[in-house]
């Protein structure tokens, strides 16, 4: 077959890439099928490897033949013959695009074929997923295909220790959740011996559910914190806050994102605590504790923003409807919620390091991805990752019917209509999947359905461990599944049940009834999230239908419709069916989408500077880790101490490592202090806007000035420590000088809009991400 050296240039990687070229190349792959069918397994591998050039870049020179070989291997190892559209998806990802493929089109196989293509080029690949369950499932499922081509593979499990992780990262193809990989990067940036690093850098990131990982998750940086005694509100202050009355002692903003202490409230606290003024210097941090307790009491809602399980507070990841494992709130807020719930108040924490998803993915020279809703996120993917989107047509045209929204004035009317609708549809035997905004809403709806005689499965952050099994059953006749919006992504809903196929009685019955019916309770702030829910119906040409129930009291409408007026007359059943009402709902959603994009852009500007500074610190860390620079500096500045240590006969390698640990301790501690300083700057940055200064410019000015002294200060402290420390054949005793490492680490749920110029405290900004 003719060579395809022209392939790379012809394919390009633009949003307007000609899909006809992709189909032509896949058509060429079809012509090779008969030839490959008679080949041995070894021949298939040799043919695939022959498609890779021997130039430095090891580019793909014969894409059609490579695709044909991978298709044949998938048929032999997985019993799955990839559709043409799946080959097109893999082709576009090998170019470096994010592909949009409908739910049920087999993106897992597309990702595995892409990994094979890159793996054969000698590139190490990380297949990045939204959670560890999917990472483990996909690695196990697609493993035989990777084995066929001699590619080693593994998955990063949540419970895996450093040694196991280290071994997995050395393999050719690694499957892992984005947070697991991110925290491994952060922990590796705290090591004092190079051999303790667990992560081996990779060349390519193949990102599953790319919009969720690269857009939704990118709003909240991954932050590693270490245990440190913290100042949460005392039990007495929590009790005082419970006795306060809204509109007298405090006020809550209309969007319930900020709470403000009134003058009467301040006097109430002062009388109760016997202090002259909350604002006096000798009042300590009482004012801060009161504000934090007010936020915990009135802005953070149990079963919406967090759960209480096993005697502890567990945060809920707003974008996925799942428990955010090992995450805490900063600034005393975690302790405030624990006090509010009557739980044991845990220590606070010190931020050790942080990284955004953008910075994490920036570590990969090449990126590509796949999702069912990429087009709606194309602006963000292009702006923040320089990635283009390719739309892959479904293998079988969709037959899903998306009904116009049912809009009501109040949430109460909306909920009553939702329940009536579900009861009516379920009575026909058609399966129903209901998407809610949060845990509390899912449970309230399920309870109301039970009272109407409808049994349902509830899937939310409280039982996310079984989500794949529950969601797979959602296509059975008469089944009603109530779920937070993101639950079950990555798991197919087959009509008739997990093994449903045409010809089986339950499958055919559901098809006759119209397929899966999806009901959305409230529209989300992004049409993309709505479309993710809609996409659960109409899998691979199956019939299906969707409808959303909306009220004018919904969060998306109240935020996006601020300052707008709408006049409409409800129909007899309370529904607002006028066209202008539907247009108003769409307008509100476009506004909130714009707000989210602005927040994302602002967050990126802020974190870009931190990432640049972190890169400078990393370069210094690498020099200390990989050379004797620390020993050379410290021994030069205290020749007498260095000579005494050498005279004692202490091994030179021990002295080098002792110096390294001293230098790295102070460098890491200064970096942690720098992050804390930047957090303080964020709290007051809105005051710069009031003074007509640009918040982002002022933040840059302050942070750059502070960073300039960081390394010099770290070196000066390291020299003092070297002179004072006890160093023996066992190493350096830093604990003896009170220089302790954190005994535990966790991640923080942090502010998504650090440079908000509209005023308000950082606590208000933190609370806002949970609305």
Which residue, among 134, 115, 117, has the nearest Cα to 209 in the 3D structure? 134
Q: From the CB of residue 150, how many other CB atoms can be counted at a distance below 10 Å?
A: 11
In this structure, the answer to whether residues 413 and 546 fall within a common structural domain is: yes
In this structure, the answer to whether residues 143 and 213 fall within a common structural domain is: yes
Contact 341, 313 (CB under 8 A): yes
In this structure, the answer to whether residues 66 and 181 fall within a common structural domain is: yes
Do the domain assignments include residue 435?
yes
Residue 281 in marked binding region: no
Which residue, among 67, 48, 45, has the nearest Cα to 147 in the 3D structure? 45
Beta strands 312-317 and 306-309, pairing class = antiparallel
Q: Which domain holds residue 297?
A: 230-346
In this structure, the answer to whether residues 338 and 369 fall within a common structural domain is: no
pLDDT given for residue 510 in this prediction? 94
Residue found by looking up tokens 């002259």 in the block: 276
Spatial neighbors of 400 by CB under 8 A, at least 6 apart, are 515, 534, 537, 538, 543, 544, 545, 546
Res 45 pLDDT > 50: yes
Res 658 pLDDT > 70: yes
Could you report the per-residue pLDDT of 428-485, keeping only the tens digit for each?
999 999 999 887 788 899 999 999 999 998 886 555 556 677 888 889 999 999 987 6
Higher pLDDT, 471 or 626: 626
Do the domain assignments include residue 77?
yes
pLDDT given for residue 467 in this prediction? 67
**Exposure string for 54-84, b = 16+ CB within 10 A, e = fewer:** eeeeebbbbbbbbbbbbbbbbbbbbebebbb
Most confident of 488-502, 522-536, 596-610: 522-536
Number of domain units in the chain: 4
**pLDDT class for 751, splitting at 50, 70, 90?**
very low
Spatial neighbors of 92 by CB under 8 A, at least 6 apart, are 11, 17, 22, 99, 368, 390, 392
pLDDT given for residue 696 in this prediction? 82
In this structure, the answer to whether residues 314 and 336 fall within a common structural domain is: yes
What is the rounded distance in angstroms from the CA atom of residue 228 to the CA atom of residue 354?
17
Contact 355, 186 (CB under 8 A): yes
Contact 470, 495 (CB under 8 A): no
Res 299 pLDDT > 50: yes
pLDDT given for residue 771 in this prediction? 24
In this structure, the answer to whether residues 466 and 322 fall within a common structural domain is: no
Higher pLDDT, 755 or 185: 185
Do the domain assignments include residue 2?
no
Q: Is the dihedral of CA 552, 557, 558, 564 positive or negative?
A: negative
In this structure, the answer to whether residues 281 and 330 fall within a common structural domain is: yes
Which residue, among 327, 380, 325, has the nearest Cα to 177 in the 3D structure? 325
Which residue, among 594, 721, 619, has the nearest Cα to 663 in the 3D structure? 721
Burial class (CB in 10 A: 0-12, 13-18, 19+), 453: exposed
pLDDT given for residue 135 in this prediction? 93
Do the domain assignments include residue 320?
yes
Res 16 pLDDT > 80: no
pLDDT given for residue 758 in this prediction? 34
Percent residues over pLDDT 90 in the chain: 48
In this structure, the answer to whether residues 385 and 409 fall within a common structural domain is: no
In this structure, the answer to whether residues 47 and 156 fall within a common structural domain is: yes
Could you report the per-residue pLDDT of 665-699, keeping only the tens digit for each?
999 999 999 988 887 777 666 555 545 567 788 88
Could you report the per-residue pLDDT of 373-400, keeping only the tens digit for each?
888 888 888 888 999 999 998 988 888 9
Report the alpha-carbon angle 604-607-609, nearest 5: 110
Contact 765, 750 (CB under 8 A): no
**pLDDT class for 114, splitting at 50, 70, 90?**
very high
Which residue, among 15, 22, 50, 24, has the nearest Cα to 36 in the 3D structure? 50
pLDDT given for residue 680 in this prediction? 73
Residue 105 in marked binding region: yes
Higher pLDDT, 156 or 17: 156
Res 735 pLDDT > 90: no
Residue 741 in marked binding region: no
Burial class (CB in 10 A: 0-12, 13-18, 19+), 565: exposed
Contact 599, 614 (CB under 8 A): no
Res 284 pLDDT > 80: no
Spatial neighbors of 222 by CB under 8 A, at least 6 apart, are 179, 182, 183, 186, 354, 355, 356, 357, 360, 747
What is the rounded distance in angstroms from the CA atom of residue 51 to the CA atom of residue 65?
7
Do the domain assignments include residue 11?
no
Do the domain assignments include residue 757?
no
What is the rounded distance in angstroms from the CA atom of residue 128 to the CA atom of residue 68?
25
Do the domain assignments include residue 753?
no
Could you report the per-residue pLDDT of 331-367, keeping only the tens digit for each?
577 888 888 888 877 766 678 888 888 889 999 999 9
pLDDT given for residue 35 in this prediction? 83
Res 65 pLDDT > 50: yes
pLDDT given for residue 324 in this prediction? 66
Residue 108 in marked binding region: yes
Residue 628 in marked binding region: no
In this structure, the answer to whether residues 639 and 701 fall within a common structural domain is: yes
Could you report the per-residue pLDDT of 122-150, keeping only the tens digit for each?
999 999 998 888 899 999 999 999 999 99
Res 714 pLDDT > 70: yes
Higher pLDDT, 15 or 518: 518
Which residue, among 475, 420, 599, 595, has the nearest Cα to 524 in the 3D structure? 595
Final residue before a domain boundary, out of 391, 411, 445 = 391
What is the rounded distance in angstroms from the CA atom of residue 232 to the CA atom of residue 218?
28
In this structure, the answer to whether residues 148 and 30 fall within a common structural domain is: yes
Spatial neighbors of 601 by CB under 8 A, at least 6 apart, are 383
Alpha helices by DSSP H, 121-192: 132-148, 162-169, 178-188
Residue 121 in marked binding region: no
Residue 245 in marked binding region: no
pTM of this prediction? 0.81
Compute the average pLDDT of residues 556-580: 88
In this structure, the answer to whether residues 446 and 304 fall within a common structural domain is: no
Do the domain assignments include residue 657?
yes
CATH code at position 653: 1.10.3060.10
DSSP three-state, residue 731: strand
Compute the average pLDDT of residues 540-568: 90
Q: H/E/C letters for each residue in 212-274?
A: HHHHHHHHCCEEEEEEECCCCCCHHHHHHHHHCCECCCEEECCCCCCEEECHHHHHHHHHHHC
* CA–centroid distance for 118 within its chain: 25
CATH code at position 581: 3.40.50.300
Beta strands 745-748 and 480-484, pairing class = unpaired
* Phi, psi dihedral angles at 154 (to 5 degrees): -170, 170
């Amino acid at each position: 077959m003719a060579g395809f050296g022209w392939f790379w240039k012809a394919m390009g990687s633009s949003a307007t890439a000609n899909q006809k070229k992709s189909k032509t190349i896949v058509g060429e792959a079809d012509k090779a099928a008969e030839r490959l069918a008679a080949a041995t397994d070894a021949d298939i591998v040799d043919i695939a490897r022959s498609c890779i050039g021997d130039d430095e870049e090891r580019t793909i020179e014969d894409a059609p033949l490579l695709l044909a070989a991978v298709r044949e291997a998938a048929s032999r190892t997985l019993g799955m013959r990839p559709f043409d559209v799946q080959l097109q998806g893999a082709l576009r990802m090998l170019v470096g695009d994010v592909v949009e493929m409908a739910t049920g089109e087999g993106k897992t196989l597309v990702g595995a074929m892409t990994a094979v293509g890159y793996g054969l080029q000698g590139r190490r690949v990380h297949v990045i997923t939204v959670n560890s369950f999917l990472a483990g499932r996909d690695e196990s499922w697609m493993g035989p295909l990777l084995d066929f081509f001699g590619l080693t593979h593994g998955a990063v499990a949540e419970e895996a220790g450093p040694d196991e992780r280290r071994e997995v990262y050395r393999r050719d193809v690694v499957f892992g959740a984005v947070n697991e990989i991110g925290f491994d990067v952060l922990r590796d940036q705290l090591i004092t011996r190079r051999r303790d690093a667990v992560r081996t850098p990779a060349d390519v990131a193949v990102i599953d559910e790319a919009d969720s990982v690269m857009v939704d998750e990118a709003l909240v940086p991954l932050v590693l914190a270490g245990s440190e005694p913290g100042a949460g509100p005392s039990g007495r202050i929590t009790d005082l806050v419970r006795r306060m009355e809204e509109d007298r002692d405090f006020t809550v903003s209309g969007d319930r994102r900020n709470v403000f202490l009134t003058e009467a409230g301040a006097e109430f606290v002062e009388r109760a605590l016997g202090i002259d003024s909350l604002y006096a210097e000798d009042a300590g941090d009482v004012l801060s504790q009161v504000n934090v307790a007010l936020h915990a009491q009135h802005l953070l809602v149990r079963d919406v923003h967090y759960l209480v399980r096993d005697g502890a507070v567990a945060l809920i990841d707003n974008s996925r409807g799942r428990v955010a494992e090992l995450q805490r709130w900063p600034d005393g807020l975690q302790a405030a919620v624990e006090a509010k719930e009557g739980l044991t108040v845990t220590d606070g924490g010190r931020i050790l390091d942080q990284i955004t998803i953008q910075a994490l993915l920036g570590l990969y020279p090449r990126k590509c991805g796949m999702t069912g809703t990429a087009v709606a996120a194309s602006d963000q993917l292009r702006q923040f990752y320089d990635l283009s989107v390719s739309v892959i047509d479904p293998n079988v045209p969709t037959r899903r019917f998306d009904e116009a929204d049912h809009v009501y004035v109040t949430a109460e009317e909306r909920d009553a209509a939702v329940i009536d609708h579900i009861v009516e549809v379920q009575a026909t035997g058609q399966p129903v999947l209901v998407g809610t905004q949060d845990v509390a809403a899912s449970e309230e709806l399920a309870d109301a359905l039970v009272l109407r005689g409808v049994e349902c499965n509830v899937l939310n952050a409280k039982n996310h461990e079984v989500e794949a099994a529950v969601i797979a059953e959602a296509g059975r006749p008469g089944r009603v599944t109530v779920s937070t919006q993101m639950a079950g992504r990555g798991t197919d809903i087959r009509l008739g049940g997990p093994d449903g196929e045409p010809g089986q009685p339950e499958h055919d019955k559901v098809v006759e009834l119209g397929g899966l019916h999806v009901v959305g309770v409230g529209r989300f702030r992004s049409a993309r999230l709505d479309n993710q829910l809609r996409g659960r119906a109409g899998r691979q040409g199956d019939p299906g239908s969707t409808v959303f129930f909306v009220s004018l009291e919904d969060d998306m409408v109240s935020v996006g419709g601020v300052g707008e007026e709408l006049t409409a007359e409800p129909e007899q059943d309370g529904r607002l069916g006028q066209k202008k009402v539907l247009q108003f709902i769409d307008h509100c959603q476009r506004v909130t989408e714009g707000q989210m994009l602005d927040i994302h852009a602002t967050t990126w500007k802020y974190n870009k500077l931190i990432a640049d500074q972190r890169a400078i610190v990393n370069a210094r860390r690498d020099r200390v880790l990989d050379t004797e620079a620390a020993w050379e500096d410290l021994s030069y500045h205290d020749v007498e101490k260095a000579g005494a240590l050498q005279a004692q006969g202490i091994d030179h390698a021990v002295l080098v490592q002792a110096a390294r640990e001293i230098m790295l301790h102070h460098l890491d501690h200064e970096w942690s202090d720098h992050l804390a300083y930047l957090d303080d700057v964020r709290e007051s940055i809105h005051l710069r806007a009031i003074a007509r200064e640009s918040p982002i410019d002022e933040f840059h000015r302050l942070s750059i000035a502070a960073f300039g002294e960081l390394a010099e200060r770290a070196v000066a402290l390291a020299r003092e420590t070297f002179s004072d420390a006890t160093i023996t054949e066992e190493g350096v005793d830093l604990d003896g000088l009170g220089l302790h490492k954190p005994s535990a680490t966790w991640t923080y749920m942090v502010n998504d809009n650090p440079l908000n110029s509209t005023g308000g405290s950082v606590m208000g900004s933190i609370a806002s991400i949970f609305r």
